[in-house]
Structure 1
Amino acid sequence: MIHIDRLNSLLGLVIILCLVPMKQGIAADLTTIRAELPPVASWSGASEALIAEPGDAWITPAEQDNFKFTPSYRETRQWLERLVEASPKLSLHSFGHSAEGRELFYIKATPVRDDNGDVQRPVVLIQAGIHSHEIDGKDAGLMLLRDIGLGNKSKLIDVVDLVFVPIYNVDGHERPSVFNAAHLRGPANHGTRDTAQSINLNRDYAKADAPETRAMLGLIQELDPILYIDVHVSDGFDHGYDVTYTYAAWGRYMHSKAIADWLNGPFESSVNTFLRSQGHNPHFYPSAIDYHEIEKGLRVSGEGPRWSTGYGDHIRMPTVLVEMHNLKPYRQRVLGAYSMMEGALRAAATHLDRLQSSIEQDRQRRPDSLVVRWERDEQPMETISFKGMAFERYESAVSGEQEIRYLGRTETWSLPVTGQHPVAEVSLPKAWWVPASETKVIELMDVHGIVYETIDSARELELDTITMHDLELGPVYDTRVQVSGSASHAVTKVRMPAGSVRVSADQTLGLLAASLLEPEAMDSLFSWGFFPQMHHKTGNMERFIVVSLAESMLSKNGVLRDSFEAELANNPDFAADPKARLRWFQDRSGYGKSSYGVYPIGREL
């Protein structure tokens, strides 16, 4: 049986191939445009017993195709609707829409059906397809839901409910192409990394530009999950592990210390034991310092709230990033993802009391400072035994350098693991004051669920105000231009108009508020370009007026004259630039005061 959506996808691939310009002697087919992946190491495991037999009424589309294809959005939804209708343990829910209008939905698995919503049970939230070419979690989740709803895995939800989002990046999912991911060994029709708006959803948690992100943040606030699992597929180098996973900085630099202890303790021990029992080989996600020179070792880095793991750390929500290994066959990866999900459910249920206690303990924390810049350590923190894939180096006619060729067999390496150390931090204030005019910032506080109070009438306040110097526009990321600069502080009298808001640091989400509102933080709204007015130099006057004003200032203010002469002597570029010299005086004149570099959010000390 050929599915219409599958046929359309394949026809699209054929059309793409036909449009590839052909050079003399080169055929435009898959073998010429697809990278040749390394050899595959043989694998078998107990999890293979999870696969439905041919002809089974509840075989999933991926199983039916022997894991060569992944079902389309429509096929996925239709199969799940049929499953939900057949099982009283399952229900389908909407939680928003994508930029192109597709419905975002999830399946809830629970033994307790309560239409009034009065029953509160711990929830494990698992999402797949945040990068829709990394779609292993979707096909694994369909199998797991089948086995919970109709099979022998119903005990997995005796203690905790499962909420499963099969496709997060739904628009990208519906853009299958052979050009989407050359590094993935299947399936043949995966989607794109980014959304229809070219937004990487796993860099969008802090700035929340995408409608999909805002929908997910709303779902997180609604469910308040005790565990959040984000299923990906890796890139990088070849190695001997098929299921890798991590937390924010592998728990090394997490703000949520009690949660980090739970993840690095009961969770890791329980999950690894279960994965190995299913024939899989787990490891922490190995991020290499240099993928071309693996011997340099692995790196661990601090994380801001742009990522799912960093966001979870900032809001005190245990979060696990799962990275199936891209060079393993799709069948093995899907079975590994299934086993990881089952292992996570088992760990949450078995160690529920300590997990909930850890969450509550971290939610009571009120940090007084925030690290805003890290640097790589010079010496590794440890050296580990690591199962890598053997490789050889050869001279490439393409690059003209030595390149790596993997050989398809494992060997044991000794790899250093290098961390980071903080080099800059800021002391946190009692509160931040956001003027009423910063409507996008106030709206974003609502999106994140950050608590604030709104003033009904204007107030005169003494606040720590920040000026950002040496403003630089950085790279374009998604739909934003990143910004950097250095900060100076001064306590000044500020008038906050009616409608302005006070964001207290003394709240559960105070750490997230700090990371968004402190401009020096790595994922601050300043760094994401939320304040374009800071780059605008206003108040220009006619040149002859400025010259007259400057000459009068020089003649009447000896301190100013000395400062100007020092600037001329020490800055040749300034001395040679008439416009810069005149701007220097205008900025100090009090006329046409500029907002250039002035950060609009004040700090209550």
Structure 2
Amino acid sequence: MKTSVCLLAFLLTTAALAQTRPDLITPYERSQGRQTATYAEIIDYYRLLDRQFEQAKLVDVGKTDVGQPLHVFLLAADKVFTARPDRVTLLINNGIHPGEPEGIDACLMMARDLLLTNKLPKNVLLAIVPVLNVGGCLNRGVSRVNQNGPETYGFRGNARNLNLNRDFIKADAENTRSFQALFQQLKPQVLIDNHTSNGADYQHVVTYFSTQKDKLHPALSGYMTKTFQPDLDKVLTARGFPPAPYVNHPKDTPESGLLGYNDSPRYSTGYAALFNCFGFTLETHMWKDYPARVKGSYAFDEAVLRLCERDASQILANKRRADAAVSQQTTFALNYRLDRSQTDTITFLGYEAGYKPSEVSGLRRLYYDRSKPFTKRIPYQNTFVADLELTKPQAYLIPQAWSEILALLKRNGVQMKRLTSDTLITVSAYYLDEYRTSPRPYEGHYPHSGVKVRTETQRIQFYKGDYLIPTNQPANRYLIETLEPQALDSFFAWNFFDSILDQKEYFSDYIFEDTAAELLRNDPALRQKLADKRASDKAFAENADAQLSFIYKQTPYFEKTVNRYPVFRLERAR
């Protein structure tokens, strides 16, 4: 690895620290920027800080898939390690992809420096997840061929080979369930998720995307885009890390323009947004040397912390306003898409790209020429619009049989009531008329998309212990995004309700032939429907089984529960 300005600065800092507190030199510093800390070293270091400083506390918050606990490291100037309404909670998540470990090492040093210098903000509780993907951190190797250091690092998949940054709604991993419980306990106003990029080459060390602004309540969105982000960018530029939006480009090279990132609820910042917490996914550039990336991560995380300290009262007021508004909100937007008619421009620090014959294939290949840096204004599209709007019901009703769904709702802070007696209730019931299912597995599921529903008013028997979920609560956005089947990351989309898609009872052709004939003799309307269907569909007219099935579905014998979605909408107050 080449010695850089960042590495020289780091060596001077480490040398000074070694004179005063050699016990607090991190594993990364001890390796002179070549190594990231192992899982055992990370937890041991935070335990050391916990023992030596009263303002620090390492807490075991739950399970992970590999058997090790999930931890959070809490820093509080007043030594009170719980969330309070009078101070901001900043939650920093590390190691969701342990092969992208800059945040892990940066947070170890930042926590130490805050404690040594006694510069913890009094109005911010800082909560650091040392490593979310513990199994991936233990699975150490060299799997990221495009990355410039460290020498070894963790793996992207967790112990179940799940990508945890696609798991925030389905919560298949114990890691994610523990994180959700932690998130609901802390109720943070601001989130950082530390990552490393892949893709194009360019001059920026630091790129990031924020929670998609068009999904946020206006109080949060306006403050984030007009105050917080501009000031964050100024601080980063002053510290030698001029940022750019996450480099998501539609064509071969970034100068063609960048696109905003649609962080749906499966992602960390998209999940946080459901609870009126705005967030940032930091993406340091993979091909910059590792010390530069660690220093960029440190600069980013510290800058966000100081802005939270500066604007704590505003951040808290915005969150309270958004929570109150969402509790009363009646119409919700779903399934956002990029509005390509809206284009802005940004300053981008890139390298000229070119093409030359590949030494491997002999065909044309892309390369970037680092001897030809440029500064250009390039297009940036970051406006999103909703494809669907839904009006919330007065409440949802869910039978207690769906225990996995109910556990997810409870873990995410949803307020629910249990019915005290068996009751017939008039509800709106969805039927799933159309949907597409992925032909290949994705994160252990075959997700559904393109969902279309029809609604019937029905009188349904509910039982003592079934759940009624009112929609006058701050968790409304989470409820709408997970319980409405058309939503991109709904529980239906993630296959939690697939058992309702199976028909359980059928007919025997040779017996039902006589029953069907009698039904047609006695029901002229049914007879006409069958004739119309034959006239309009030649294949149907030539298929005896299809005609019997058509008649069967028009009779009381056909089960009403086929494709009936088992989350019911109570459209008026009981």
Alpha-carbon distance in structure 2 between the residues aligned to 1:115 and 1:404: 51
Alpha-carbon distance in structure 2 between the residues aligned to 1:220 and 1:201: 15
1:127 to 93, 105, 109: 93
> 2:561: which partner in 1?
595
CA contact (8 A) 1:538 1:592 kept: no
SS at match of 2:14: coil
Percent identity, aligned pairs only, is: 25
1:483 to 438, 448, 466: 448
Q: How does 1:255-334 map to 2 (within 5 A)?
A: 255-290=216-251, 292-334=252-294
1:213 matches 2:176:
yes
2:407 to 443, 456, 460: 443
SS at match of 2:453: strand
1:235 matches 2:201:
no
SS at match of 1:133: coil
The letter for the 1-side match of 2:318 is S
The letter for the 1-side match of 2:317 is S
Q: CA deviation at 1:323?
A: 1.4
CA contact (8 A) 2:483 2:567 kept: yes
1:352 matches 2:312:
yes
SS at match of 2:307: helix
Alpha-carbon distance in structure 2 between the residues aligned to 1:555 and 1:92: 77
Q: CA deviation at 1:555?
A: 2.5
1:195 to 150, 158, 163: 158
Q: CA deviation at 1:242?
A: 1.3
SS at match of 1:231: strand
Equivalent pairs, count? 561
CA contact (8 A) 1:266 1:347 kept: no
CA contact (8 A) 1:430 1:505 kept: yes
Please list the CA deviations of residues 78-111 of structure 1 after superposition, one character each: whole Å capped at 9, or x if unmatched: 2222233222322211111211211211222222
Alpha-carbon distance in structure 2 between the residues aligned to 1:307 and 1:256: 18
1:472 matches 2:436:
yes
The letter for the 1-side match of 2:91 is L
Please list the CA deviations of residues 172-209 of structure 1 after superposition, one character each: whole Å capped at 9, or x if unmatched: 1111122x222222112121112111222111111222
Aligned-residue CA RMSD in angstroms?
Answer: 2.5
Alpha-carbon distance in structure 2 between the residues aligned to 1:500 and 1:592: 25
Alpha-carbon distance in structure 2 between the residues aligned to 1:580 and 1:399: 54
Alpha-carbon distance in structure 1 between the residues aligned to 2:362 and 2:445: 36
SS at match of 2:221: helix
1:368 matches 2:330:
yes
Unaligned runs of 5+ in 2: none
Cα 1:63–1:467 shift into 2, 3 Å? same
Q: CA deviation at 1:388?
A: 1.9
Please list the CA deviations of residues 297-349 of structure 1 after superposition, one character each: whole Å capped at 9, or x if unmatched: 22225443211111111111122221112221111010011111110110001
Please list the CA deviations of residues 121-144 of structure 1 after superposition, one character each: whole Å capped at 9, or x if unmatched: 532211111111111100001111
Alpha-carbon distance in structure 1 between the residues aligned to 2:179 and 2:151: 28
Instruction: Give the TM-score, by structure 2 length.
Output: 0.91
Q: CA deviation at 1:462?
A: 1.5
> 1:455: which partner in 2?
419
CA contact (8 A) 2:57 2:81 kept: no
The letter for the 1-side match of 2:481 is S
Cα 1:282–1:72 shift into 2, 3 Å? same
Cα 1:191–1:576 shift into 2, 3 Å? farther
2:504 to 518, 538, 552: 538
Unaligned runs of 5+ in 1: 1-38
SS at match of 2:109: helix
Q: CA deviation at 1:465?
A: 0.8
The letter for the 1-side match of 2:209 is T
Q: CA deviation at 1:392?
A: 0.7
The letter for the 1-side match of 2:390 is V
Alpha-carbon distance in structure 1 between the residues aligned to 2:155 and 2:547: 51
1:75 matches 2:44:
no
Alpha-carbon distance in structure 2 between the residues aligned to 1:283 and 1:486: 38
Alpha-carbon distance in structure 2 between the residues aligned to 1:50 and 1:273: 26
Alpha-carbon distance in structure 1 between the residues aligned to 2:546 and 2:255: 50
2:302 to 342, 346, 356: 342
Instruction: Give the TM-score, by structure 1 length.
Output: 0.87
CA contact (8 A) 2:184 2:411 kept: no
1:580 to 515, 522, 546: 546
Alpha-carbon distance in structure 2 between the residues aligned to 1:498 and 1:116: 36
SS at match of 1:189: coil
1:113 matches 2:75:
no
Q: CA deviation at 1:384?
A: 3.0
1:402 matches 2:364:
yes
CA contact (8 A) 2:110 2:298 kept: yes
> 1:20: which partner in 2?
none
Cα 1:283–1:40 shift into 2, 3 Å? farther
50-59 or 534-543, which moves further after superposition?
A: 50-59
309-318 or 374-383, which moves further after superposition?
A: 374-383
SS at match of 2:414: coil
Q: How does 1:523-562 map to 2 (within 5 A)?
A: 523-562=489-528
SS at match of 1:79: helix
